């Protein structure tokens, strides 16, 4: 199977992860005009599963390194398969809430608050499991991310409270709360996937999973849990009226392909992050990947112009947020 050979390449893979994780939500924004999030999300999940399987059957099965996908799956312990599946369940719950927060509050709020919080929790959890890198630099960078989260939350509240309408205030609170809950769950999923894998990808361990097998099991966990989570969301959406499976099949080819593309983009990021964790360590790999917050914030602020109606002073808060994120991510890179 394909394996990363150096820390420099691992950092490059983390940058790709950052771009993918910070950009997939653009497909949701593109579809939002004609396609409800709950319907979009079915195709998004199918995109994740499809890319995970394709990677496992190609890059995960070729070459002399590691263990081929099918052989790896046959020898895997149920406990390790269950750990990767559970990671998928946690991620799916978090991502559905994040998607709802994006629909309510926008990318430039949901990502910095939700994913920023996930970065903090994920770095701590993964570092305790595999303490790789300088703790001082790692947690210093994490502290700057916390400051960035607070700046973004203040900027969002200033913008929404400028509109005195009760419904707008209610939605702003709901958007922030969904982002926070999503971030708490999102920070936990990666550790379960990492624990299921053998730590040195060049030396397979009996019962443990290769990175490619782990991502496939993770994707299956997303798909299985989506039958429950998204069905409930369709019946009781956070915003709007209920939708049905019949509505899904009324969608156009463009609607469905947009969702699949979003899932493929996200899963490329996940696969690259998992592969990078061998040389970078899970804490640094996950933390750098969650630099997606900067990418998503830039999309939301400068492309989708989600703060175009913001009052005076908010732009300084947003610039401060981006600066704290960038410096914090720089410290995470230096931690190794």
Is 244 a member of any domain? Answer: yes
Asked if residue 179 lies in contact with residue 98, where contact means CB atoms within 8 angstroms, the answer is yes
Is 74 a member of any domain? Answer: yes
Give the range of the structural domain holding residue 48, as residue numbers without chain letter.
7-334
Residue 18's alpha-carbon distances to 12, 13, 22, 292, 299, in angstroms, are: 10, 9, 6, 4, 13
Is 157 a member of any domain? Answer: yes
How many CB atoms sit inside 10 A of residue 152's CB? Answer: 28
pLDDT of residue 162: 62
Is 2 a member of any domain? Answer: no
Is 197 a member of any domain? Answer: yes
pLDDT of residue 170: 55
pLDDT of residue 172: 62
How many CB atoms sit inside 10 A of residue 65's CB? Answer: 14
Among 149, 157, 37, which Cα is nearest to 100's?
37
pLDDT of residue 166: 46
Mean pLDDT per block of 10 residues along the chain (336 residues) reads 92 94 90 90 97 97 89 96 97 91 78 82 86 88 84 78 53 79 91 93 94 98 97 91 96 96 97 94 85 81 81 88 88 85
Q: Where are the alpha helices (DSSP H) in 37-165?
A: 37-57, 69-75, 78-105, 107-110, 116-129, 135-161
pLDDT of residue 171: 54
CA distance linking residue 146 with residue 322, whole number of Å: 12
Is 1 a member of any domain? Answer: no
pLDDT of residue 254: 94
Is 59 a member of any domain? Answer: yes
Domain count for the chain, please give it: 1
Contacts 24+ apart (CB under 8 A), 316-319: 317/151, 317/152, 317/154, 317/155, 317/158, 318/108, 318/151, 318/152, 318/155
Is 104 a member of any domain? Answer: yes
């Amino acid at each position: 199977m394909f394996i990363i050979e150096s820390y420099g390449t691992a950092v490059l893979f983390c940058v790709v992860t950052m771009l993918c994780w910070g950009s997939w939500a653009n497909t949701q924004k593109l579809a939002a005009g004609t396609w409800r999030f709950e319907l979009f999300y079915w195709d998004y999940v199918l995109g994740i599963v499809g890319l995970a399987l394709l990677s496992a059957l190609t890059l995960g099965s070729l070459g002399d390194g590691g263990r081929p996908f099918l052989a790896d799956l046959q020898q895997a312990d149920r406990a390790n398969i269950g750990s990767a599946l559970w990671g998928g369940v946690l991620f799916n719950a978090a991502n559905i809430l994040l998607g709802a927060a994006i629909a309510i509050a926008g990318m430039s709020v949901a990502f910095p608050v939700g994913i920023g919080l996930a970065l903090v929790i994920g770095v701590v959890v993964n570092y305790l499991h595999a303490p790789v890198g300088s703790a001082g630099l790692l947690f210093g960078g994490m502290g700057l991310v916390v400051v960035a989260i607070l700046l973004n939350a203040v900027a969002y509240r200033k913008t929404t409270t400028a509109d005195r309408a009760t419904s707008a205030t209610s939605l702003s609170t709901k958007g922030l709360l969904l982002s926070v809950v999503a971030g708490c769950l999102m920070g936990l999923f990666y550790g379960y996937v990492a624990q299921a894998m053998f730590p040195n990808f060049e030396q397979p361990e009996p019962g443990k999973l290769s990175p490619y097998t782990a991502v496939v099991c993770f994707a299956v966990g997303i798909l299985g849990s989506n039958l429950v989570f998204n069905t409930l969301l369709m019946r009781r959406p956070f915003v709007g009226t209920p939708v049905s499976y019949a509505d899904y099949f009324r969608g156009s080819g463009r609607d469905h392909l947009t969702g699949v593309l979003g899932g493929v983009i996200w899963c490329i990021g996940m696969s690259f992050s998992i592969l990078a964790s061998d040389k970078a360590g899970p804490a640094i790999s996950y933390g750098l990947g969650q630099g997606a917050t900067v990418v998503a914030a830039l999309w939301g602020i400068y492309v989708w112009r989600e703060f175009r109606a913001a009052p005076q002073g908010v732009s300084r808060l947003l610039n401060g947020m981006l600066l704290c994120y960038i410096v914090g991510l720089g410290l995470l890179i230096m931690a190794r």
